[in-house]
Structure 1
Amino acid sequence: MNPRWLKTLKEYVEALLVAVVLALIIRAFVVQAFKIPTGSMLETLQIGDQLLVSKFHYGLRLPFTDTVLVDVYEPARGDIIVFEYPFNEKLDATRPHLKDVDFVKRIVALPGDTVEIRAKQVLVNGEPANGPFIQHTREDIEPSPLPEGHVEIEVDPAAYFDHCEDVTSACRSKRDWMPKMTVPAGKYFCMGDNRDESFDSRFWGFVDRASIKGKAMVIYWSWTGPTNVRWERIGNKIQ
């Protein structure tokens, strides 16, 4: 191989390495892509939507750690966030595929807020948490697990959130009812907009601040297959 080819090859290798390093830096500090795999956020987010998630929005972190180098914004009610599912080795024994998996949900309640659910109506600090993005696909409401007119009770989140899924009446009651509880410091109560079809904080509890990867910002691509590109969704801001 002559020196000219060696020089050309070296230039290409250097350019490739620079591109890889830049891509890793951007992914670690600035933005990350995320694909919507389920319908838990319908109609806000469709299956097949591909999002850009701002990793800088909630602060600049040291890669591969939870150490925040620069604070920017704090998570707010209504933000749609991407976070690591709070996998529990015991409670999620039948769901090993959820370990190290990222979820996307909307923040409903912040640290220090009280949150309660009565017949599907979510109350935050005693006020209805409504919005045009919420949808219910089931008309059935499970009976309340607590007697009518019961006194307020203190609930131990460690005992209440058992990671059950919507396959039994006892679990469906958690979909529609939840005793009042206070969101602990450094944690967030998150739900899917498709309230009757979302595996969220009602079942597995609060999201740790350190588990939040970033804020969903924009749809950069959307399709259900090569023959069905949803052009009208591309470029839409997520809110």
Structure 2
Amino acid sequence: MEFDFSAILLALTVLFGVVWGLDRLFLYKKRKARLAATGSEYRDPAPVDWARSLFPVVLVVLVLRSFVAEPFRIPSGSMMPTLDVGDFILVNKFAYGLRMPAFNTKFLDLGEPKRGDVVVFRFPGFLCRDASGKLVRSGDISCADPHAPVPSQNWIKRVIGLPGDTVEIQGADLLINGKPVQADEVGPYVGNPQRDEERLMLDMGATVWTEHLQREDGRMVNHMTARMPAYTTPNSIPNAVVPSKVPADCYLVMGDNRNNSTDSRWWGCLPEQNLAGKAFMIWMSWKGWGTGGVDLHRIGGIIH
């Protein structure tokens, strides 16, 4: 079962606020007077007392998570070596504008993603063709059921293409607006063979590269990527469902673990309305019992 924590927080905030507010408007004075007349000590009924105590707490948490920063845990290796499985990150919720909690409707525009940003977003679904040949979003990666519900999941990838960009990908070769993106090999990937994702990269002979993405203002974003062509051959762009031209209000995103990331090469561009925020810091890194525990060296790391 999948839970939308923002929706739960919003529902609890409304519930506690309504219970406390209605009690104070219609019941509180009569109850207080009745107890005073009998000489009894005043005490709120348990539901009202709980609502009064918890309302400000859940309200503060809702505001902080919705408009300031939200924690996420990295569940897979698609962003290695930049982000490891077990990293806990903070996401800037106001980097690209403020959105209504649970509904994700933007009500204040504060900026747009830049090339090279690491973004968290609600998974839009795989691009599939239905019986009529129309492209639709599906939760089924095989597209056997084009109308399968899209799961409510938060994903994390790096922005490669902006609206209007032309992006071409063939294996490890990446061209943006006709210009090859340069990358320098750092060396073989070094990891812990006791951890599944790291063992996979070691077994597949992964290599680490420094990729140089140029932003619109000319500044370079230098970040780490991993390649392991022995593992799988990713989809090229353009392909049958993903054009090379990035549509308006959409972004092309990829994982830094280039041969082990289900990203825009499979499911197309990321709609702007699905953005949740910009990842900016690792606040905790848990490697697991017996396989590293807390990785103190990663805590406080800024995400580039």
Q: TM-score scaled by structure 1? A: 0.76
Query: Distance between the aligned counterparts of 2:280 and 2:259, measured in 1?
Result: 24
Counterparts in 2 of 1:17 and 1:94: CA distance versus 1, 3 Å: farther
**Superposition pairs for residues 223-234 of structure 1, below 5 Å?**
223-226=286-289, 228-234=293-299
Partner of 2:62: 24
Aligned to 2:177, which of 101, 117, 125? 125
Say whether residues 1:57 and 2:90 are aligned partners.
no
Aligned to 1:195, which of 252, 258, 279? 258
Counterparts in 2 of 1:94 and 1:101: CA distance versus 1, 3 Å: farther
- The one-letter code sitting in structure 2 at the alignment partner of 1:199 is T
Query: Distance between the aligned counterparts of 1:143 and 1:75, measured in 2?
Result: 24
Partner of 2:107: 69
Query: Distance between the aligned counterparts of 1:61 and 1:22, measured in 2?
Result: 16
SS in 1 for 2:113: coil
Partner of 1:237: 302
Q: 1:25 Cα deviation (Å)?
A: 1.6
**Superposition pairs for residues 153-168 of structure 1, below 5 Å?**
159-161=240-242
Query: Distance between the aligned counterparts of 2:241 and 2:298, measured in 1?
Result: 39
- The one-letter code sitting in structure 1 at the alignment partner of 2:157 is K
Partner of 2:276: 213
Gaps of 5+ in 1: 146-153, 162-179
Q: 1:197 Cα deviation (Å)?
A: 0.7
Contact 1:119 1:141 in 2 (8 A): no
Contact 1:108 1:129 in 2 (8 A): no
Which stretch shifts more, 106-115 or 53-62? 53-62
Q: 1:75 Cα deviation (Å)?
A: 0.5
Which stretch shifts more, 68-77 or 37-46? 68-77
Q: What is the number of equivalent residue pairs in this alignment?
A: 209
- The one-letter code sitting in structure 2 at the alignment partner of 1:109 is G
Structure showing greater Rg: 2
Query: Distance between the aligned counterparts of 2:272 and 2:89, measured in 1?
Result: 21
- The one-letter code sitting in structure 2 at the alignment partner of 1:120 is A
Q: 1:133 Cα deviation (Å)?
A: 1.1
Partner of 2:167: 115
Which stretch shifts more, 43-52 or 29-38? 29-38
> CA offsets per residue over residues 67-123 of structure 1, 9 Å max, x none?
322221210000000011122337446797961111100000100000001332111
Query: Distance between the aligned counterparts of 1:20 and 1:187, measured in 2?
Result: 33
- The one-letter code sitting in structure 2 at the alignment partner of 1:89 is S
Counterparts in 2 of 1:207 and 1:123: CA distance versus 1, 3 Å: same
**Superposition pairs for residues 126-141 of structure 1, below 5 Å?**
126-130=178-182, 131=211, 132-139=223-230
Contact 1:120 1:141 in 2 (8 A): no
Contact 2:92 2:278 in 1 (8 A): yes
Counterparts in 2 of 1:23 and 1:90: CA distance versus 1, 3 Å: closer
Q: 1:138 Cα deviation (Å)?
A: 2.3
Q: 1:19 Cα deviation (Å)?
A: 1.1
Query: Distance between the aligned counterparts of 1:26 and 1:223, measured in 2?
Result: 24
SS in 1 for 2:167: strand
Which stretch shifts more, 94-103 or 189-198? 94-103
Counterparts in 2 of 1:34 and 1:90: CA distance versus 1, 3 Å: closer
Q: 1:55 Cα deviation (Å)?
A: 1.1
Q: TM-score scaled by structure 2? A: 0.61
Q: 1:127 Cα deviation (Å)?
A: 1.4
Aligned to 2:138, which of 63, 84, 89? 89
> CA offsets per residue over residues 133-160 of structure 1, 9 Å max, x none?
1210225886999xxxxxxxx96x7x42
> CA offsets per residue over residues 39-82 of structure 1, 9 Å max, x none?
00000000000111111110012233343222212100000000
RMSD (CA atoms) = 3.1
